[in-house]
A = this chain, B = another copy of it.
Amino acid sequence: MAVTLREVAEKAGVSAMTVSRVINGAAGVRDDTRRRVEEVIAALDYVPNRIARGLLSSRTGILGLIVPDVVNPFFTLVVRGAETVARRAGYRVLLCNSEADLALERQYIDDMTSLRIEGLLIAPVGDRSRASLLSLTRRAFPLVLIDRSVERLDCDLVQADSAAGAREMTEHLVAVGHRRIAFIKGDDDMSTSRDRLLGHRRALEAAAIAFRPELVFVTTVDRIGGYRAMQQVLRIEPRPSAVFTVNNMTALGAMQALREQGLAVPADIALVCFDDVEHLAVLSPFLTVMDQPAEPFGTIAAQLLLERIGGQAGERARVVSLKPDLVVRESCGSRPRDRQS
């Protein structure tokens, strides 16, 4: 098997402790002893066993990160942000994909706990993730929620101001002339879906437009969900002039449905969403979006987590609310030449 500390010690003619001191850079080793040990380490290609170390110190140097969908560019950027900060602090990231599945998420949380990760970053499936997370918060396990809050779970959280963002988006749609707006969202179990609908309603209210429940479509917040919801939208009469989807993946699915029906955006119907679609904006700056600063979600969350692990955080839960940015492009139909067609 792999070389152990004790083998190094033997070969160098010292005790295990001395080798341990050398690899940890501890003081109290004579220079020539240290040098000799280092030579043996190099010669044997010795790598200390973190597992063993973690058993003793429960410092494994691993953080957990659970997201519902790595392929969603929003979460991909979150991952990159978190990983960068973690690495700088000497931590590695164990990434898992819950696939928006509660049971899977729970299993991952258990797995990670059993691997003795030092802290967990998670974009939870929804409010029902509470049960799994409660077992962590109860024993003050370092935990930071990303993107979505969990009802009655008091812990650190990095999110966007969804209500304000959605309100601004709807205000924009209204400003460019839309009055009949469909809203495609996820289950109410998800804070983002709740909050964004709320913002949407507030904007309608402020514009004295009656809120119509039949224009709200609940689906899974992925591409297939957006696709199906859009098919439903197209079945109602009269057809809405605009559709607002709760995230980027739903918008892509919606777009696909529209394309299949031969409908043009925004000529036939306008389409806007929360989240930008990384890479898409470069090739085809077309979709009007409420852009969330995805990478900062990851970096800030990781920072909060590291502070908590380091005991510099205090007992109170900290909530960071990031402001999303309205990016007006073409799909909302705000450009007169598109709207008049």
Contact = CB atoms under 8 A, between A and B. Distances in A.
B280 A50 contact: no
A279 B69 CA distance: 14
A13 interface: no
Contacts of A296: none
Contacts of A92: 94, 96, 108, 111-112, 115
Contact of A54 (B1, B51, B80, B93): B51
A125 interface: no
A84 B96 CA distance: 10
A144 B330 CA distance: 45
Contact of A139 (B2, B52, B58): B2
Interface string A252-264: 1101100100000
Give the interface residue-count category, chain A: 35 or more
Given A76-B70, A279-B73, A279-B280, A51 B55 contact: yes
A233 interface: no
A48 to B, nearest CB: 6
B283 A47 contact: no
Contacts of A114: 47-51
Interface string A78-105: 0110011001000011111100000010
6 contacts: A52-B55, A87-B104, A92-B115, A256-B282, A284-B284, A284-B286
Interface of A: 1-2, 45, 47-52, 54-55, 58, 60-62, 70-71, 73, 76-77, 79-80, 83-84, 87, 92-97, 104, 108, 110-116, 135, 139, 223, 252-253, 255-256, 259, 277-280, 282-284, 286-287
The 6 A-B pairs at the shortest CB distance, nearest first, are namely: A284-B284, A95-B95, A50-B114, A47-B114, A51-B116, A50-B115
Given A71-B76, A255-B283, 17 more contacts: A45-B135, A50-B111, A50-B115, A61-B111, A62-B94, A71-B73, A71-B77, A71-B278, A79-B95, A80-B97, A83-B96, A84-B97, A92-B94, A93-B94, A279-B279, A279-B280, A283-B286
